[in-house]
Amino acid sequence: MMTGNAGQRAARLLAPLAIGIVFLAAWEAVVRVEGIPSYILPAPSAVAQSLWVDGPSLFGSLLVTLRITLAALAAAAFFGGAIALLFSRSRILELSLFPYAVILQVTPIVAIAPLIIIWVREPFLALLVCAWIVAFFPIVSNTTVGLNSADRNLLMLFRLYGASRGQTLIYLRLPTALPYFLAGLRISGGLALIGAVVAEFVAGTGGAETGLAFRILEAGYRLAIPRMFAALFMLSLTGIVIYLVLDLLSRLLLRRWHESALNEEEE
Amino acid sequence: MLRGVTKRFVSGLEALGGVDLRVAHGEFLSLLGPSGCGKSTLLRIVAGLSEPTGGSCELHLGGQSGKAIPAGHIGFVFQDPTLMPWSTVRANVELPFRIAGRVRAAERDRVAAALHAVGLAGFEGAYPHQLSGGMRMRVSIARALVTGPELLLLDEPFAALDEITRLALNDDLLRLWELHRPTILFVTHSVFESVYLSTRIAIMAPRPGRIVADLPVSLAQPRERAVRTAPSYALMCERVSAALGAAMSEAPV
């Protein structure tokens, strides 16, 4: 049992790693054999070199983007949770406001980002608002479902023992909604990063500080394609790290009781 | 206790059509009938969780009646254990006290005593997913008993359990009833279970739900496993089955 589990864990790590190595090797080989110039497709070795040389300055830009992303995610978690709570308290409010949340969600952020950047003078705040708009919907919609998913019989039991609305919320609805909220948060983590990058792209040179997205744009203009790839690589890595951190948070909070976080051996 | 209670759902379905029922203190009454005969609806009306469309339901508990009955005088056990999965066994049983806003040493002792009474001492820190179906149902019963209710309402509590667990819980429930003597309303659709457990059986028929027979069970007390093989038990089961059969043929399912 133990060895089977360890073997499976190793396979889960090694299999994608092997695919990645094979892919990179093939990429390197094709570029070298065909003699493709680096401004069309840089070899992985060239990207690695650029990562080494430009790494420190790119990392500074990454921090700018990361700050926007995390602030947007925090705002999405806070306001998303609060709006969901409001919805669960008042059906009328939910019915009248939810469609607008949907509209905000389905409107392409690329289309409204220029407006927001014009309206909101402070560049950091403008980017934050863009990223927030993209990130808040999964949290609102998931948490609203969660808050309304309390077990019918438990609700009746709470009534039988004379629980107040506040008690029912704290002891029953909030714990029920937590897994839904966390699932929404995991989706929003990636979306906040995408939102921040899109907003930076639109803001272009208008931004005072240079985030990673702007560096990608700039590298493209200068045909410094290896650096563009290096920045892209850092961006993807950041997205993965954000997902892993949120996944870990979810597992830690739910590990004692929720199906999604229970160890199979324990069952 | 119940006088001409009717219940009509918003959909127009008549769930209960004039139920009269008087239950004495300390009685173990089974409501037996096919599914859809309004047994659970009746139980919910008694618990005050549902308002009757017509008639009245009067409870006299703890020297109070009607709306003045304080919380905790009625215990309710559902068909599912209905536990909070994020809470330990202890916190689940403690829930009635936490809602009442007082969890002190005395209440903690009562939680421990209730868990001991259902044979779950030592499992206080466990989470529901770590327990078997039977154990979860025991937690549910402990939670219903912890406030020392005078009226215990059970809505097919053992229907989802396997036979072995079910028989064990039948005996445990009898033991607890003999110990504390609460009034019990027990909804079931098992003839054998109702005869083994109760002092009286009300047989219900569907469409609209009503009581068609009211049979006292005069088997020896306290009941033990030997009762299940006694000729008097078999005879009683036969009578109840016949009455149930008559009720069902009256309104074909």
Question: What is the ipTM metric for this complex?
Answer: 0.87
User: What's the pLDDT band for A218 if we cut at 50, 70, 90?
Assistant: confident
pLDDT band (50, 70, 90) for residue B142: very high
Cα distance between residue B57 and residue B51, in whole Å: 9
Say how many residues make up chain B: 253
Distance CA B35, CA A92 (A): 36
Based on DSSP, count helices (H) and strands (E) in chain A, helices before strands. 10, 0
- Look at residue B11 and tell me whether its pLDDT is greater than 60: no
Q: Is the pLDDT of residue B139 over 90?
A: yes
Mean pLDDT in residue range B166-195: 87
Q: Closest residue of B to A157, CA-based?
A: B76
Q: What is the pLDDT of residues B58-77, one digit of tens each?
A: 777 766 666 667 777 889 99
Cross-chain Cβ contact A161/B47 below 8 Å: no
- Least CB-CB distance to B49: which of A156, A256, A257? A156
Shortest distance between the Cα of B126 and any Cα of chain A, in A, equals 10
Phi, psi of B24 (to 5 degrees): -85, 155
Query: pLDDT tens digit string along B220-231?
Result: 777 777 777 777
Mean pLDDT (chain B) is 82
Give the pLDDT confidence of B48-62 residue by residue, as tens digits.
Answer: 888 777 777 777 776
B128 contacts A257? CB cut-off 8 A: yes
What is d(CA B83, CA A176) in angstroms, rounded to the nearest whole number?
A: 12
* A154·B100 Cβ contact <8 A: no
Confidence check: pLDDT of A264 > 80: no
Quick one: B46 exposed, middle or buried, by C-beta within 10 A (0-12, 13-18, 19+)? Answer: buried
Query: Between chains, do A156 and B76 touch, taking CB under 8 Å as contact?
Result: yes
Answer with the residue of higher pLDDT: B11 or A162: A162
Q: How confident is the model at residue A265 (pLDDT cuts 50, 70, 90)?
A: very low
Report percent pLDDT > 70 for chain B.
Answer: 90
Amino acid residing at A31: V
pLDDT tens for each residue of B91-112: 999 999 999 888 888 888 889 9
Chain A nearest C-alpha distance from B187 (Å): 16
Mutate to test the interface with A, among B44, B50, B73, B86 (most CBs of A within 10 A): B86
Distance from CA of A152 to the nearest CA of B (A): 9
Give the mean model confidence (pLDDT) for residues A248-265.
79
For testing contact with chain B, the best of A154, A161, A174, A256 (most B CBs within 10 A): A161
- The pLDDT score that the predictor gives to residue A3 is 55
Number of Cβ within a 10 Å radius of residue A74: 14
Confidence (pLDDT) at A156: 92
pLDDT at residue number B46: 86
Highest mean pLDDT, choosing among A7-11, A151-155, B46-50, B195-199: A151-155
Query: Is residue B148 classed exposed, middle or buried when 0-12, 13-18 and 19+ CB atoms within 10 A define those classes?
Result: middle
Predicted confidence (pLDDT) at residue B86 exceeds the cutoff of 70: yes
Show residues of chain B in contact with A181, CB under 8 Å: none
Provide the mean pLDDT of chain A: 88
The predicted pLDDT at position B67 comes to 63
> How many residues are given for chain A?
267
Phi, psi at residue A36, to the nearest 5°?
-70, 130
Task: Give yes or no for residue A251 having a pLDDT over 50.
Answer: yes
From B78, which residue of chain A is nearest by alpha-carbon distance?
A: A153
User: Across residues B192-210, what is the average pLDDT?
Assistant: 83
What's the whole-number mean pLDDT along residues A223-247? 92
Q: Rounded to two decimals, what is the model's pTM?
A: 0.85
Judged by CB atoms closer than 8 Å, whether chains meet at B44 and A156 is answered as yes
Cβ neighbours of A163 in B, within 8 Å? 99
Mean pLDDT for A252-258 is: 86
Q: Do A256 and B86 touch (CB under 8 A)?
A: yes
Helices (H), ranges, chain B: 39-47, 89-100, 105-117, 133-145, 163-180, 191-197, 231-250
Pairing between β-strand B54-57 and β-strand B28-32 as defined by DSSP bridges: unpaired
Is the pLDDT score of A35 beyond 80?
A: yes
pLDDT at B141: 92
pLDDT tier at B3, thresholds 50, 70, 90:
low
- pLDDT of B174 reads 87
| Listed range (B53-57, B71-75, B136-140, B234-238) with the worst mean pLDDT | B53-57
* Between A50 and B253, the higher pLDDT residue: A50
Distances (CA, A) of A249 to A80, A84, A115, A181, A246: 18, 21, 35, 12, 5
pLDDT of residue B97: 92
Which residues, 6 or more positions from B191, have their beta carbon under 8 angstroms from its beta carbon?
Answer: B32, B237, B240, B241, B244
Give yes or no for a contact between B206 and B34, defined as CB atoms under 8 angstroms apart: yes
- Is B253 a residue whose pLDDT tops 50? no
The string of pLDDT tens digits covering residues B152-180 is 999 988 888 888 888 888 888 888 888 88
Instruction: Give the pair of three-digit tokens for residue B151.
Output: 């009226």
More confident residue, A241 or A205: A241
Contacts of B99 in chain A (CB under 8 A): 158, 161-163, 167, 171
Name the minimum distance, in Å, from the CA of B252 to any CA of chain A: 30
Which element (helix H / strand E) includes B74? Answer: strand B74-77
